[in-house]
Structure 1
Amino acid sequence: MAECPLTDNQLLKVQSMVQNCLQRGTLEETRLYGLLNETLFFHKCYIEADLVVFPQLRIPWKSQSRAQKDTKERRSNVPDFGFGELPRAGGMKLRGGAELKAALEFMRTLPDTEEIREEPDFVVKVNDTALQASDQVKAGIKSGLLPNHKAIKWIVMVGPYFLIPSFGPYNEKELSARAHRPNESGEASISEYLAELKKTTGSRGIEGAIYILGTKAGAIALHNYLVESASLRF
């Protein structure tokens, strides 16, 4: 889609919410949930395919059958939003998701996307959030909610700024390693690598387009992502 899917009034409403989140009160992650949730509501009105939004979705790190064998296994990943469907046969299927982080102080003036691309604090926050999103995708695959034969797109959002990177497919070793909270007993070899990776998050640039909620470019990117996610089948 090349044209903005939202009406002028809807776009102005999102812009107003963005300003309220940035300029009034503390920069809280919780307020972003309301911002993105309301924005998703606007977009869903124009999506023909069914797309269910799962807020604060808990995804076990291990599949249910494996977790039952290990009574000490209680780890899980909780994406702020999951996007998918409720199949007639029961259960659920995921098509995508989103991980949000609170806005950074310099975002109060809503700088241009290219202006913040190399901002050190933003680079670190985006890369760290992407690691967390990667864990969420892995958990979805291990739980049978997502496929592992194709790349899965996931929203990574810091304040009103967001990217839509792809994760996977993963090999067996990658799938067993949890980047955000590694398991010391079973993931020692790759945990060391991940620890070093985190130390260099500030030196790794941000690839791909950066969007802002409340802009036409952001609305088009988000809408295209939701439409693509709704059509994903496996």
Structure 2
Amino acid sequence: MAMGMLCVILNVFCLYCVLSEAIQLYFGKSILYSNVLPDQGLNSTQGQLSSINCAKLCADQKYCQTIFYKPMTNMCSLYKYPLLKYTPTSSEPGIEVYELEGCPHPEFDVSREIGMCLKVYQTTNFTYSYITSVCNQEGGELISLDTDTKIDFLSAYLLMHFGTPVGITVGLDNSAGWKWTNGEPLSISHPNVVNGINNYDMAMDPCESNYCGILSVYSTSDMTLYDNCCNNLASFFVCTMPYQQ
């Protein structure tokens, strides 16, 4: 296929474009969502772009991973998140929703902004070894929050996924000093995250294992990172794997 062309096959945009180098992106038409627009966070144009050029515009914006397109008016709206169960939306007739695809597992969501695919899991086994093994079996790992960009994305993602404040087990433990799963040392500089790491778990004292990390997200501007015994963690956790475009 020639560089710069876009084809539509079974409602999937197959986009070839040139940024710094040739990349290939796939936008699949959502089977769950249509006729809606997010209440905030959209970058929109009115009456200017074809569906092909709308997809190209999304490809040029690293943050973009979801397209809202209205064929009747050529309205093109770009969005930095997947459309999730509790995403605040308003009704808008005639809107088609196209979501970025390409994760090794189709049930994972893409974030081009952080270069990852991610998925929320729930378990009744609250041990770090078990939670880690689940991610490893999928070919991924527990999420590392070593950058502010990852924290910002994850907090918004979780609130749109659950619709309520939530605590999740993250890829952080002190088995060899406090480090994230990806090997980066713990360093919290995010202004909205309270660092509550203290090597203590009131519910499991003494702790017979190491301590591991939990992130509580109350809002995108109110989060706490703290630790519990690695055998007493949150039932929800997030696995990630690299997104390669």
Normalising by structure 1, report the TM-score: 0.27
Larger radius of gyration: 2
Which structure shows the bigger proportion of residues in strand conformation? 2
Which structure shows the bigger proportion of residues in helix conformation? 1
Normalising by structure 2, report the TM-score: 0.26
